[in-house]
Amino acid sequence: MALRLAHEILTLQTAHPFTIARGSQSEYRVVWVRLRDGDGLEGWGEADPSWYYGETAETVTAALDRLAPALPDDPFALEEADAAMALVLRGNASARMAVSAALHDLAGKRLGVPLWRWWGLDPARAPRTSFTIGLDTPEIVRAKVREAAAYPILKIKVGTAGDEAILRAVRETTDRPLRVDANGGWTAKQAVARLPLLEEVGVELIEQPVAPDDLDGLAMVRRAARVPVIADESCRTAADIPRLAGVVDGISIKLAKCGSLREALRMVAVARAHHLAVMVGCMIETSLGITAAAHLTPLLDFVDLDGAALLARDPFRGATIEGGRLSLPTGPGLGVTAR
């Protein structure tokens, strides 16, 4: 019997307006996908559309209506489902990802094991997650850093003329490890010029310093930097990874970019074959989306899965964060429940 797909747009509020090099926002619309089989068992997934990748909640729901008839009847036919969806509709990665997550959730529930166990992973291996401090005035950044006292690693959004003031404000407030994410906001020359400052305040990782297509710029920053340079916007799927080898030290997976949990696993394999570090990042999303990504973390080096922690109210319960440690659910499938 065919799987039935239902979707619902959820409007999320962040506790604070969230600003990165590309803009500011405090309301986020995501899509909750439910797949129901003939026995009434449900698998859930979340689409976190990003205008940057050409998606909105409305393109997601339209894409889902197009994808639904292409789905196999059997939630275990995961390879076939990905292939069928790719044939029906290109792009729309977050919509396809929501279906992929829902299929894994449903099949995992039938197997009676959590996804990490299905994948042969040890949840104790999950690295600690960082917490992200968006762009803001030095005063507000200081307040946010104090508010984030429970998180042992901070990721600071940079990429504007205010970088120095922000980084000094953060370092005056805390001695925790710092990572920076420019979201492509620097030129290569600007990035290299900022390296002494980044070293002075003790930044341990630099994410996407320059524009996604500027591979020469990435390589230039990497040669000059003493800490790992990670590609995020430059790397959407596994096929992007070979050209990044020798250019950066690692890549960042985001489920909303790669379009399927199987593709995320393939990205880990390809990155490892090229001796690259692997990070997972997220969008502003609920614990449903975060938990799907959290199941991958035992395979990874760096984790930034604070998306649900930035919310004023999270409609789901799944992976939890305690002192930066991710605790993966023990329930079957994704292990996520409604709050």
Annotation says 232 is catalytic: yes
Smallest distance from its own copies to CB 266, Å: 4
For residue 26 the two structure tokens come to 């405090």
d(CA 297, CA 160): 30
Is 157 among the catalytic positions?
Answer: yes
How far apart CA 235 and CA 253 sit, in angstroms, is 8
CA distance 254 to 142: 28
Q: How far apart are CA 52 and CA 16, in angstroms?
A: 21
Instruction: Tell me if 117 contacts its own copies by CB under 8 A.
Output: yes
Q: Of residues 41, 52, 262, 320, which one binds its own copies by CB under 8 A? A: 262
Q: Is 79 in the site for its own copies (CB under 8 A)?
A: yes
Q: How far is CA 183 from CA 78, 150, 304, in A?
A: 32, 25, 14
Structure tokens belonging to residue 237: 């799927």
**Applying CB under 8 A, which of residues 9, 88, 111, 143 lies at the interface with its own copies?**
111
Shortest distance in whole angstroms from residue 97 CB to its own copies: 15
Residue 207 catalytic? yes
Q: Which is nearer to its own copies, 58 or 79 (CB)?
A: 79
Residue 260 CA to residue 82 CA, distance in Å, equals 7
Cβ 234 to its own copies, closest distance in Å? 15
Q: How far is the CB of 126 from its own copies (least distance, A)?
A: 12
**Listed ranges 88-96, 116-124, 205-213, 227-235: which one lies at the site for its own copies (CB under 8 A):** 116-124
For the bound state, the minimum distance from the C-beta of residue 268 to its own copies, rounded and expressed in Å, comes to 8
Q: Does 265 bind its own copies (CB under 8 A)?
A: yes
Question: Which one of the listed residues 163, 254, 257, 314 is annotated catalytic?
Answer: 254
Q: How far apart are the first and last CA of the chain?
A: 30
Going by C-beta distance under 8 Å and a sequence separation of 6 or more, which residues neighbour residue 151?
Answer: 129, 130, 131, 176, 306, 321, 323, 324
What does the alpha-carbon distance between residue 257 and residue 97 come to, in Å, rounded to a whole number? 8
Q: Which stretch binds its own copies (CB under 8 A): 3-11, 43-51, 78-86, 317-325?
A: 78-86
Q: State the catalytic residues.
A: 157, 181, 207, 232, 254
List contacts with its own copies (CB under 8 A): 76-80, 107, 111-113, 117-122, 125, 238-239, 241-242, 245, 262, 265-266, 269-270, 272-275, 298-299
